[in-house]
Amino acid sequence: MTPPGTDAGGDAGVDGAPTLAAVPSAAGAHTAEADLTEVLAHVAEKLEADVVTVLGVDPAADHLVTLFTVSTPPVTSGHHRVPIGQGLAGRVAAQRVTIAREDLTDDDLINPALLPLGITSAVAMPLVRGRRLLGVLKAGTRRRRRFSPEDLDRAEVLAGDVSEAVDAYVAASERSAAAALQRSLVPHTLPALAGLQMAGRYVPGRGGVSGDWYDVFELPGGRVGMVMGDVAGHGLAASVVMGRLRSALRAYALEYDDPAVVLSRLDAKIHHFEPGAMATAVYAVAEPPFDTVRIASAGHLLPIGMGADDRTAQVDVPVSPPLGVDPTCRRTSAEVDFAGPAALVLFTDGLVERRATSTSRAAEVFGSIDAALGELCSLVGPEDAEVVCGRIVDTMLTLEPPGDDVAVLVVRRLAD
Amino acid sequence: MEPVALATRVEMSGDVAVLHAEGDVDLASADALKTALAGALEQSSTVVVDLGAVGFIDSTGLSALVWGHGQAQEAGGSLRLRRPTPMLRRLLEITALDTVLVTEDSDDPSGN
């Protein structure tokens, strides 16, 4: 038991040590988690509290979820959910005002994990950044206590520090979750198919991962499907939508042969299940002996093709609007010659679109999309797919580091 | 050419809400554009977005404009893009969004 006035955040013995019941977080979030822990221990000390809890707002914004609890004795707060508007914390979230209670009632304390602590008095404050509600900070004491106006002033200053730490913690957790999701969805190995050679790269942007993806899969009859896509937006939300689109596209690819139909089905799926999302995608299908490729594009940059004469240009395929814009729009596919030796380079806009800031050469290449596409064409050659892919990524990213993420897939059709 | 912060303001021109955007629309500022569009749509379902002073716009920026277009249509109105830069025009063409989003070069303040 930590009597009021002792250092609840210090290196107390086993009995008195505050224990954190934290959301399991990925490695990248460790620093932010340690910072938040430190801030909460400080809050417990300053407010002479026996329990300090941070609740975050869940994605649907109708519940609070316990993120961290520092208490003596330790409790496992789990992921208790408090409806916004109910309980002390829920009311603070709904009204965005600090509420102090000398005598907590059953209506106030609706997190069952905290009941064994015998908390009598508590103060709860909204955690706000700008106009955004991040969650609620709650500090409780076992002894009955009246919070003075000075206590409340102090609490509100502390809530500012906690807001900052929670914001950093949530952002770091989402970043590492998005990165893990992205890692799990980018192909680790590409199919080995007679006559074809493939290489792919995914490079996260400065702001972490967003919604780029590429995919290569085998289909019945020896056919192969190749996808490059980009969900607008960034962070975990875009990565989650990306994961769903990737799976759905694979499912439709099994059902329909024409890439235009596959993209139309995917579009209907987005409109129904992911309203508000927008994505571009190019889908290409080839069947043995891979002398042609059928391609459709939903608002996505057309792949670069290279034929036997080593000439490179964007393939001539009609482009329809991105997915998620107009479910009734007409989509068509076109067949492109792929008789060996040939190559096809699929990529996302992050490779060719960015602000050029470093050198005049970068300004020249990234001054317009067409200049960047020209540069890209000049990097495609008749070498191994890995060599071409490496050269494209190295050259384009060294010229000017991208803000957005970048995905590139090189597919070579070897000479017969 | 460092990133330029996005600044927006809405003014009414007759029944048309004209949203003036200035700066870059990218991952970091697309939400701000969306918020500004929502503000303009509150004033009128007929919105003109003046993009003459927007230097850089990426796919997330485009998705914000598409969102505004959808909201305006749902409200029985429309959204037009005024003074798109050559880069934006090319981007609309590449993504086939030029078949969805209406552009105009006029900076006639009456919105006609």
Residue-wise pLDDT for B54-95, tens only, equals: 988 988 899 999 999 999 999 999 999 999 999 899 999 999
Distance between CA atoms of residues A163 and A296, nearest Å: 47
Tokens at residue A245, please? 């689109």
pLDDT for residue A11 = 35
Q: Which residues contact A403 (CB under 8 A, 6 or more apart)?
A: A205, A206, A207, A350, A354, A355, B3, B26, B27
Task: Render pLDDT for B22-47 as a digit per residue (tens, 0 to 9).
Answer: 998 887 788 899 999 999 999 999 99
C-alpha angle A137-A140-A143 in degrees, rounded to nearest 5: 165
Which residues of A are less than 8 Å from B90 in CB distance? 368-370
| Reported pTM | 0.81
Q: Is A61 on the interface with B (CB under 8 A)?
A: no
Report which of A170, A181, A300 is spatially closest to residue A232, judged by C-alpha positions.
Answer: A300
Q: What Rg value do the Cα atoms of chain A yield, rounded?
A: 27
pLDDT for residue A94 = 93
Asked if A325 lies within 8 A of B97 by C-beta distance, the reply is yes
Tokens at residue A65, please? 């979820």
Helix axes A149-185, A30-46, angle to 10 degrees: 170
Which helix (H) or strand (E) covers residue A160, if one does?
A: helix A149-185
E strand intervals along A109-237: 121-129, 132-141, 196-203, 210-218, 224-234
Question: pLDDT truncated to tens, each residue of chain A (416 aa)?
Answer: 333 333 333 333 333 333 333 333 344 467 888 888 889 889 998 889 999 999 998 877 788 988 888 887 777 666 678 889 988 999 999 999 999 999 888 777 766 666 677 888 999 999 998 878 999 999 999 999 998 999 899 888 999 999 999 988 888 888 888 888 888 888 888 999 999 999 999 988 877 778 899 999 999 999 999 999 999 988 888 899 999 999 999 999 999 999 999 999 999 999 999 988 999 999 999 999 999 999 999 999 999 999 989 999 999 999 999 999 999 999 999 999 999 899 999 999 999 988 877 788 888 888 889 999 999 999 999 999 999 999 999 999 988 888 788 999 999 999 98
- Could you say which of A234, A276, A300 has the minimum Cβ distance to residue B27? A234
pLDDT for residue A201 = 93
Which residues of B are less than 8 Å from A321 in CB distance? 95-97, 99-100
**Residue keyed to tokens 């649907």:** A60
Closest A-chain CA to B68: A276
DSSP secondary structure of A23-79 = ----GGGHHHHHHHHHHHHHHHHHTT-SEEEEEEE-TTSSEEEEEEEEESS----TT
Contact A284, A293 (CB under 8 A): yes
Distance between CA atoms of residues A297 and A346, nearest Å: 11
Distance between CA atoms of residues A171 and A150, nearest Å: 32
